[in-house]
Amino acid sequence: MILVVGSCSDTVSSALVRHLGASGQPFQVVDEDHPDRYSVRRDWLEGRAGYRVLGGGCDGASPVGSIFVRHAAPRHLDPGRLAALGDLQRDLNRMLTAARCPTVNLPANAGSNYSKPFQVGLLAEAGFDVPRSLVTSIPEEARRFYDDLGGRVIFKGISNVATFAQVLTPDKLDGLAKLPHCPALFQEYVAGVDYRVHVVGDEAFVTRLSSRDEDYRRGARAGDADLVIEPAFLGDEVTARCIDFTRQLGLVVSGVDFKESPEGRLVALELNPYPQFTFYEGRSGQPITSAVAAYLARHPVDLSNVFA
């Protein structure tokens, strides 16, 4: 049986649940939008220590062969509900650290993009070409970086709190005065088309994105009629490196973002451990949800220490 942990209002989790339902694959869901309905209990199971998930449709009796996790973000300001979600996620994460079955993705291994410049370092060590990057809260340092790169610089958030990349144009230089209040990430601007490589186990799906906007996500939101999202090919070496890097981080699924300049320079920007792959497959037609479901289904339950 497959256990899906996350929010039923999340498009990726719900797409997977729909797919599992349609395929007849046995599964159960822990809907974190209702944390008070569930509990996780450490218990003796078939002669060894393990965990039982109870609540919703989970009776804690069926062995779990694989787990899909995409934790819900807090959507309420009510302290009671926030505490209930925090407690459930803590108990689930405790279970996941001890689970013997594959987890897609283990939250403990999914933190590297919390600090994008830190992850850029990991990408560089893995052999990817990465953009020159500066993290600073000092306006003069940002200006020096801008001048060093001939004014071809973008800026964006350092953490994984959602921000859009913006080109640092001359009219925005006055905004650098705000840096002492909050640092920002500045990167060498690589103009060109975007690629997203979704890794699912040993498989990779390459998607090419062409937009008028420097950040295609903003273009998509604004209804950019010229936004093109299509299957593509980046070469076996690149996709193999994406698969290896994902595995090296202890992940099964990832979304690796690239920019390709007109001269053919391919620059790795970041790896997303919880990619919104439904956005891409809905436009490119690539069967990513199906690949995730197939990965989850191919694992036997023999050694499971999680029951739901």
Partner 1 sequence: MILILAETHDPLAGILQTRIEERGQPVRRLSERELMEETPIAVERDGRRFGGFLRLPGGDVGVNDLSGVLVRISRRWWPSPAFDPPDQMFVYHETTAALFCLLAGLSCPVVNRFDLGWWLCDRAYPELLREELGERLGLRLDGMDGAGSAGLAASVYAVDGRLIPASVAAAPLADHLAGRSAALAAWQASSGLRICRLDLLAGEEPFLERLDPCPSLADEAPDVTERVAAAALEMLS
Which residues are at the interface with partner 1 (CB under 8 A)? 41-44, 49, 86, 90, 93-94, 96-98, 107-108, 111-112, 114-118, 120-121, 124-125, 129-130, 132-138, 141, 145, 157-161, 180-184
In the complex, minimum distance from the CB of residue 198 to partner 1, in angstroms, rounded to a whole number: 23
Rank residues 114 and 233 by Cβ distance to partner 1 and give the closer one.
Answer: 114
Tokens of 68: 């899909």
CB of 160 to partner 1, least distance (A): 8
141/257 with CB nearer partner 1 = 141
Calpha distance 27→3 (Å, rounded): 6
- Minimum separation from the CB atom of position 245 to partner 1 (A): 15
Asked if residue 177 lies in contact with residue 127, where contact means CB atoms within 8 angstroms, the answer is no
For residue 93, the minimal CB distance to partner 1 (Å) is 3
Q: Where are the beta strands (DSSP E) in the chain?
A: 2-6, 27-31, 39-45, 48-55, 58-59, 66-70, 103-104, 133-136, 153-156, 166-167, 184-188, 193-200, 203-210, 228-231, 253-260, 266-272, 306-307
Indicate the residue among 133 and 210 with the shorter CB distance to partner 1.
133
CA distance 307 to 3: 9
Minimum CB separation of residue 144 from partner 1 in Å reads: 9
Nearer to partner 1, 135 or 193 (CB): 135
CB of 42 to partner 1, least distance (A): 5
- Joined tokens for residue 177: 């005065």
Q: Which amino acid is at 200?
A: V
Return the structure tokens found at 171.
């009219």
Residue whose CB is less far from partner 1, 202 or 244: 244
CA 128, chain centre distance (Å): 19
Question: For residues 168 and 28, what is the distance between their CA atoms, to the nearest angstrom?
Answer: 47
111 versus 231: smaller Cβ distance to partner 1: 111
Residue position matching structure tokens 């994460």: 93
